[in-house]
Structure 1
């Protein structure tokens, strides 16, 4: 793990101070200066290293300059991160504010200099929204909506909110639902990498179709996001082939229930619903007597992606759009 984290570090340590190596230095300075305009960074050694040569009045002038650069699209960013953010924004339908918030949280989590700058920025579950709004020059209401429990970012499982109302560092106020997600976003990543291999693409099948496949295709024509319960994995592959769609499998996890639910909601947020089919095997850990019926109904009503649920027997079969024996 140490080697992996070292590989993803975007700064090298030099004389006890982090030296920026990527092209995001001006964006990081802009975020820090906005926070400094309202908060005291006098005892923050990293902030002093970045701006030690500036007089107090000059900091205000530098903030204005960087603000203007951002408005004119002249603030550089990491090209790979920008590419991956565009992909997520497209498939999840994120607006510009949501994209900016996700970018900031990714950078805060993965870039050590930025993390060090804001380590003394103490917030709670109420003030963190206003802090982020200030740093990104957004409205507080916009940030609250983007990070609410019903938002696309949170419902997808990508961003995790801490429920504790006590004070903590801004960098600790949020986490990601997938290990190494923030670091991987700086790479040329596949979907499997972004979700820590909880979702993987598999090959469809060109086997001759059966009557069941034709019936399923007729249902899908009426309801593209149908939930279909069946036993035969090959039928899923045949349907994907007939639809000319990519087939993804939700990987079984020994951690079971919550890990797989997170992956399910993420798949529905990240996959292109028009060209993807999701297959989920070993579903007894999700659909059993301990699962609240309200949650079952939510799972089977809020999905965006056509989903095949594989099981020899499921007591909740009445909730599915089709059951193939």
Structure 2
């Protein structure tokens, strides 16, 4: 018998960690334009994520649009939170929906109005600004009414320089940037966490193996001998009691606990549900609370995810309760209160 967690379990966790880190890098690459724009519409535009009429059906994307002029049409919502503007961009005139109190919109209106009224603007570069927008379809067919006032003879609509079937909505890169950066960091951290956990688990396995061999040198390179010399053996769980130690050799790791230091022991059942209703998995673990070297330590040790393990765990707990009567075994409100009092008295 070998340490069950040292082989496939270690490799699987490393592979998962590397896959998650790779996923983080791919996700960052796919969102690189947003991340590297640093929430700037101009940078997004310079990276090629600019809006043209060819993108009018891409409602799931964000774009930067170059603004060469912007005019308030006088149309908007009754609550004053939304206003419709005409926006002259690189390849035509679009309708823009935006909040009239937005500082960026107000600033642009002032700049372009000032330029239009400047009688000495000949030879001066016309102002250009940039906005982050998303495409919205005119589902209520309201834009043609506004367009009829701007383009009564439909000249601009006929030559494709005024569009009245969709509009641009002013938005921000903030949410998209937070999502892109946050998603990248989250995947990367989880991936690193899997690798660190795998390395730490393997190190803990090695330490516990040496402790076990120090307990009985016959077990070195021969863990199977536990089946013959232990006071309690459950091969299905990988649980043994030998020389007052609870030894757990499961697919989750090799662990040892001195039962002479046991304060409270009980088992936990964790059910994993899909859609909050359908149980897709069940984990069984032992909560092992010890008082060692003048301090309390609490360990939640996963043992199995097989439903059939529950009766075996109960048998193990019953054995420990019978042979270590000074410890509290099993969960109950009384046991919980007794443990709280023990913690307070042993701070």
Question: Considering only CA atoms, is the larger Rg found in Structure 1 or Structure 2?
Answer: 2
When normalised by structure 1's length, the TM-score is 0.25
Write 1 or 2 for the structure with the bigger share of helix.
1
TM-score, normalised to structure 2, is 0.24
